[in-house]
Amino acid sequence: MGSIDAPTFTQNGSDATVAADGPPPPVPDSAAMTMEKTLEIDSSRKRRFGMLPLEVGTRVMCRWRDGKYHPVKVIERRKMHIGGVNDYEYYVHYTEFNRRLDEWVKLEQLDLESVEAVVDEKVEDKVTSLKMTRHQKRKIDETHVEGHEELDAASLREHEEFTKVKNIATIELGRYEIETWYFSPFPPEYNDSLKLYFCEFCLNFMKRKEQLQRHMRKCDLKHPPGDEIYRSGTLSMFEVDGKKNKVYGQNLCYLAKLFLDHKTLYYDVDLFLFYVLCECDDRGCHMVGYFSKEKHSEESYNLACILTLPPYQRKGYGKFLIAFSYELSKKEGKVGTPERPLSDLGLLSYRGYWTRVLLDILKKHKGNISIKELSDMTAIKAEDILTTLQSLELIQYRKGQHVICADPKVLDRHLKAAGRGGLEVDVSKLIWTPYKEQG
């Protein structure tokens, strides 16, 4: 039989021939690697986009505002109004951080190579529990309960399910635009509003800037609608009766819930007094924070809820509010304690306050002093004094009673660890009559 011309191909600039029915030419290593890499990328891309949209419960790495990737869990997802079938936004919880940082993210912020399948929460909890030591469990309980100490497991799950997604992303209050931390149960007509505009004096809220501007031209308030009971320099404290100013009280509760994870008071404000701290200037008195207090408390609660707004945090105002609540208790001739459960930040603030007040007295006091005497001097409930001193290891149990052991060097070390005391309450500037004496 005759022969046929063998096909030719060029390799490195030279001609090469192979028989038509012979084996294929060897593929160079670099070309093979390129082909393998291309196939791998295609396979990876198909795998990544085949898993979209991501299921609720998926764990994945997400690029945060610091530009770095952090582990998250998908809490919720929603279809975007425009785009293809895979165009979803995802509401994620950064598992390293507090719930207040949960947010909606775009697909491009997620590293799909790091996707883990949806995990059965009960199995995961059991595995995690088996791996943790008793000490680690206690530390987790202390730092991550976030003010839900008195909720059972079922109630906690129900609370987290109901409040899992922030409904309002930002608010405008006075000269500040503030990112919110948590869900707040605003009336249904505000559910589609990512941003709300608050009047900083009456706390009415609106959906649009133009509405706020119109409202501000009519609103004649320049401070909270109550009695000014304290004025020192540029700081003022107003007492607002929830029964006399019901709408203001409810609006304050809606606002506060955006920054407090566990808060249930929204409508029943009649039984509460609100103490609103303001910074004052020639434009009016601008709310910094507040605490609320029951008019009549059988449990000796001198504070129900406390909040310093984010723009004013880390300036000593939270400590000022706590100190102020105890000055009111002293005026009433009662001991007081904050209502439980406390928020995570609230608990830290109280522990710091109790530590500083008690150690200051112990440093100055000569001779023995009892828990009862400390309680009478500070208006701090005896149980709070005891737990604080026990946590500092300043209590010993001898001959059937608790004894305070106050070594000066140990006191100094604890005082230094407790940090600054914050703004002082000038009691001489407090002009106030307890509610039970107000007629």
Helix (H) or strand (E) holding 30: helix 29-50
Q: Which of 103, 200, 239, 339 is catalytic?
A: 339
Locate 234 and state its tokens.
Answer: 């540029």
Locate 351 and state its tokens.
Answer: 């522990």
Sign, CA torsion 294/295/301/305: positive
Distance CA 115, CA 73 (A): 10
Distance CA 319, CA 350 (A): 8
Sign, CA torsion 345/348/351/356: negative
Tokens 């940082």 appear where? Answer: 101
Q: Which of 377, 379, 373, 408 is nearest to 394 (CA)?
A: 408
SS3 390: helix
Distance CA 294, CA 299 (A): 10
Distance CA 318, CA 307 (A): 7
Q: Which of 358, 347, 300, 354 is nearest to 323 (CA)?
A: 354
What is the full DSSP assignment across 254-266? HHHHTT-SS---S
Q: Is 339 one of the annotated active-site residues of the chain?
A: yes
Locate 54 and state its tokens.
Answer: 């991501």
Q: What angle do CA 374, 403, 138 make, to 5 degrees?
A: 90
Residues carrying an active site annotation? 339
